[in-house]
Structure 1
Amino acid sequence: MRVRTLEELLLLASESISLWLRGFTRLGFFYCLGWTVHILCVFASVLLGPVSQVVATLVFVVGVLALVTSLVLMIHALEPRLRAPATVSTDEPQDLETASVTVPRLVFQAQRRLPVVAAVIGPFLAVYAVWGLIDEQVNLLFSYNNVLRGADQIDYWSVSLTRVTFYLVLAAVTFVLKRLVDAVQRRVQRSGVAVLALLLEGLWVFASFLALAAAASDLRGWIGTRRVVVGVQSRWNALLDALPDWRLPFELTLPEALAGMVDLVWRTVLPGLSTTILLPLVWLALTATVFGWRDVTGRQVVTGERTQQVISSVRQRTADLGPLTALTTWVTADLQGKYLPVVHALRLVWRSGPSVMAAYLIWTALLTAAAQWVLVLARTVAGDLTNPELSVYLLFEELLHGLVFTTLLMASYAAAFDRALLGVMGEDQRSRRLRLARRRRATDTEAADAALDVR
């Protein structure tokens, strides 16, 4: 197991670096484009704050959307360089049934950029929101507002977490508009309509996140006063008080050690596992959706005979609800079309095998650690800087750092998807070469026979 994991790790590292080097021109172009638009929109949002906070918020959303879109385009740019789809004939694309998972036909087809971005931008933004990445962008906007406007002019800032009602209304309105534009887009295949749908998607996710973030503090305070929560806290404190004050190493008593251990698990271990294990797996699933893992249904995601019986029973009971059923289907259409494929793609990650999964997690952890150490080293070398110098330095640091490590991470996600797909298809490097060699040999034979017939 350890030897196999080490082999997979070395193979994944070599394929990631090779894919990164071969596709660096496009990767670098899309990254620089997204970063430039994002920074320009951040500054424009700060300047527009006193004029119109609604327009300032819209401009900032466009900047975040450009940054996330650049990630999608970087992954999509590596599609022609994947090896697994090349092992399947694309003359008549169809779903590939394997022993563990069904591979959608879109994986084996070339796809245009705009439809891909429109299909996956929602899940990408949702991941950004759940893991606090959009929160980082909001904090960045806060810092620029503070530098340019000052803390005494907070009413003129371009973003504020006190406007809960505004963000809720904005999220509701943009969601309805997005669903209407989606319906138009299915009938009118125009680039302008697709771009409008893309903007509405980003605005809806972003406004929903800001509304939840604005209400989070009040919600935590309300939950903390509930009887159940207060009762659990009281029993926990009573348990700690009942423990004997045995002196343990490191100058801790038994109650202090137990309280510290629980606090460590809650505040450090669980967030660490979420960041180092769950987040890379979700990124790999998102990469799969970019490469075509989108044409799936709820039945493919939720398996099991008992589960299917429950689903069938619910559908029979709700079949006569009429308009309510239609409204529910209309509201939740995005769930099946854009978010269920991400869940289904996680099955690909799981079915690829423990060695492939472990190698992928180790490789992404190494890259993340290397990126952090490079930042620490760069800031140590830079030394003490004045505020204007520091602002300019941080901009160029972000650009150059992302140009190396963000592009390398995107290439690593693509290479890991390629390895996982080869794993579920039962293909290794040697058998893949043999299969391609047989195909070329058959083509050469047919060409030779055709030449003889002509003569």
Structure 2
Amino acid sequence: MRTWAEFTRLVRDSAALWWGRLAQLIGWFSLGYAVNELCGHVSTVLGGGQRILGTTIILLGIVAWVACLVLAVHSIGTDGNGETRLDVLAASLGPFMAVYGAWGLAEEQFDRLIQANLMAHGIDADEFSVNAGDWGFFLGFAIVAWLLQLALRLIARRRPSRGLQLAGAVVDGAWIFASFFVLREWAGRGFDWLTTRVAWRWLQSGWEGFLDVLPQVPVWFQLTLPDALRLFGDRLWDFVVPGFANAVLLPLIWVALVGTVFGRGEFSVEPLLRGTPGERAARLLDRGRHHPARSMARLAGSELREKYLPMAATLGLLREAGVRFMGVFLVLVASVQLAGSLIERGIQHLIGPRPLPDTLLYAPTLTYLVTLLTTTALLACYTAAYRRVEAAGASGVPGDVASERVRRSRRSPG
């Protein structure tokens, strides 16, 4: 009963946040979606002759889309901490883009863009406006964006302005995304290289040899013990590990991202560093205020503290909230995603088979509507979960007390 009560409270909190801020959520979602789609269309029209410009435009479209997600989360807030949208964007866009890059969440968009280029330019890849496999190009883009970001910071320290703050946030998001794009490519190439080494073949031979000496005992119908273990090993890497990353870890990371929007200034770095090598490094950085290396290190440290410390602290709060709450939250997220899929399939079933021109006409609208529904609902779920763990962490009492505080905070004017 406690689990069901926890689930129903989280559903009520999420639904109240979603319905109470529905207009703002639709507005920010639609703006980001429109800019992203427009950038993809412009990039496709440019073709291979303008690949640098085309890739820059599509990256700016992704940055705009993620920025609108940040602002959509901010619009759900009810506490009114005095920060402007630009302040929130400057602090939160980097972590959001890092997660998008690390999880490859924009790869689907690149796939759609490749399909659009195929329709517009045929099979000649040289005419495509983007090449997702050209990691060298993205590395160069990341280096240029980082240098531009550094220049903007130096200028902003002398002449701060809102325009420079906005430009710095956009460039920060672009270089972080491009960097993670390169890291994912290198990680894939590194794994491919590892699988060609002799040591890897020894491991494979040892595993197969271990399976060969096992008795041929049936464990499930006609499936023997060696076959069952072999099947388990294959499914572990092909389905279990990716499924855990996407279905369990990613939703928890999204709650941590909400912490970068609402939790800045509420967490201290000292508890996270206490007893670690970072504690001594932090003390050294506090000495010698005029040394250039230490000044740069303090600048980098302030960036990490302001942008990524809230993520680490929120993950700590989630851990303290307990397995029950995390399980309930993950079930709610999975339910929203399943509902979105069922709605889309139901609408397609009602429409029935249609000629290709009709399908091309209604498919984008259907995708937009379903994505609008599921994305805004998920953002409300992530924010409600953050509110719960934040209240529980502040009071030290998870459960009913935290829920009541969240409900009172939600009703308070902001």
Q: Taking structure 1 as the reference length, what is the TM-score of the superposition?
A: 0.80
Q: Compare 392-401 and 420-429 and name the one that shifted more.
A: 420-429
Which residue type is aligned with residue 262 of structure 1?
G
Q: Hey, what does 2:72 align to over in structure 1?
A: 74
The question of whether the paired residues in 2 share the 8 Å contact of 1:37 and 1:63 is answered with yes
Report the secondary structure of 2:48's partner residue.
coil
CA 314–150 in structure 1, closer or farther in 2 if over 3 Å, else same = same
C-alpha deviations, 1:369-413, integer Å up to 9, x for none? 211222222333333344443333231112111222211111122
Indicate how the Cα distance of structure 1 residues 383 and 216 shifts in structure 2: closer, same or farther if over 3 A, else same: farther
- Of the three residues 226, 229, 241, the one matched with 1:258 is 229
Q: Deviations over 1:57-101 (max 9, x none)?
A: 111011111211121111111112xxxx5xxxxxxxxxxxxxxxx
Question: What is the CA–CA distance in structure 2 between the aligned matches of 1:296 and 1:374, rounded to whole Å?
Answer: 40
Show the 5 A alignment for 1:299-314. Answer: 299-303=270-274, 306-307=275-276, 311-312=279-280
How far did 1:286 drift?
A: 0.8
2:39 aligned partner, one-letter code: C
Aligned length: 405
1:234 pairs, out of 205, 216, 220, with 205
Whether the 8 Å contact between 2:29 and 2:72 is mirrored in structure 1 is yes
Change (3 A) 1:381 1:175: same
Confirm or deny that 1:367 pairs with 2:336.
yes
Asked if 2 retains the 8 angstrom alpha-carbon contact of 1:68 and 1:125, the reply is yes
- TM-aligned CA distance change 1:286 to 1:313, over 3 Å: closer
Matches within 5 A, 1:33-72: 33-72=31-70
* 1:416 matched to 2:385: yes
Could you tell me how far 1:432 is from its partner in structure 2? Answer: 8.3
SS at match of 2:119: helix
Structure 1 contact 248–254 (Cα < 8 Å) conserved:
yes
Alpha-carbon shift at residue 124 of structure 1 (Å):
0.6
Unaligned segments of structure 2, at least 5 residues:
396-400
Q: Which has the larger radius of gyration?
A: 1
Q: Is the 8 A contact 1:68 1:124 kept in 2?
A: yes
Question: What are the residue-to-residue correspondences of 1:256-405 with 2, within 5 Å?
Answer: 256-293=227-264, 296-303=267-274, 306-307=275-276, 311-312=279-280, 334-405=303-374
Amino acid at match of 2:338: A
Residue matched to 1:451: none
Asked if the contact 1:294/1:338 (under 8 Å) is kept, the reply is no
Cα distance 1:409–1:237, how it changes in 2: closer, same or farther (>3 A)? same
Match among 188, 195, 199 for residue 159 of structure 2: 188
Distance change (3 Å), C-alpha of 1:291 and 1:315: closer
SS of the residue corresponding to residue 132 of structure 1 reads coil
Q: Provide the C-alpha distance between the structure 1 equivalents of 2:189 and 2:407, rounded to a whole number of angstroms.
A: 60
Give 1:141's aligned amino acid. L
Partners of 2:406 and 2:188 in 1: CA distance: 54
**Larger deviation, residues 376-385 vs 271-280:** 376-385
* Contact preservation (8 Å) 2:285, 2:297: no
Contact preservation (8 Å) 1:123, 1:339: yes
* Cα 1:187/1:357, change in 2 over 3 Å: farther
Partner of 1:109: 81
Task: Deviation per CA, 1:318-344: give whole Å up to 9, x if none.
Answer: 989x76655555566533332232112
Distance, in Å, in 2 between the alignment partners of 1:221 and 1:10 is 46
Report if aligned partners of 1:161, 1:213 keep a CA contact under 8 Å in 2. Answer: no
SS state of the match for residue 52, structure 1?
Answer: helix
Report the AA paired with residue 391 of structure 1.
L
221-230 vs 69-78, which moves further: 221-230
Determine if contact 1:293/1:345 at 8 Å carries over to the other structure: no
Instruction: Pick from 144, 157, 160 the counterpart of residue 173 of structure 1.
Output: 144
Deviations 1:250-278 (A, max 9, x none): 32232211110122222222222222221
Gaps of 5+ in 1: 86-107, 440-455
Distance 1:341 1:4 in 2: 29
Q: CA deviation at 1:157?
A: 0.9
> Is the Cα contact below 8 Å between 1:28 and 1:403 reproduced in 2?
yes
| Contact 1:178–1:201, Cα closer than 8 Å, also in 2 | yes
Q: 1:287: how far off?
A: 0.8
